[in-house]
Amino acid sequence: MKLYATSIPETLPSWATVISNKAGLIEVEINDEDPGFHSIIEELSTEIQPGVIGVKASDLCTRLSIEMVDTNEEN
């Protein structure tokens, strides 16, 4: 899984790796098979839609102190 961010903390968990950092866009790859990642996902899991359990990317980024790229911005 990949996340695109505009800022990240100096230290990321072992299951998160910076792939590229070009022109202010940081690409972070998440090892979604790592037990540490699964632990955080379990903590953040909520009902995101009626009958659907999951994790919002914004909640995960907040936990990691990552500022995600806002894909809802109008140009």
Over residues 1-60, the pLDDT tens digits come to: 888 899 999 999 999 999 999 988 999 999 989 999 999 999 999 888 888 888 888 888
Query: Cβ contacts of residue 12 below 8 Å, gap of 6+?
Result: 18, 28, 64
Residues pairing with 67 in the sheet: 7
pTM above 0.75, yes or no: no
Exposure class string for 32-43: b at 16+ Cβ within 10 A, else e: eeeeebeebeee
Tokens 């990552």 identify what position? 66
What does the chain come to in residues?
A: 75
pLDDT (0 to 100) of residue 71: 58
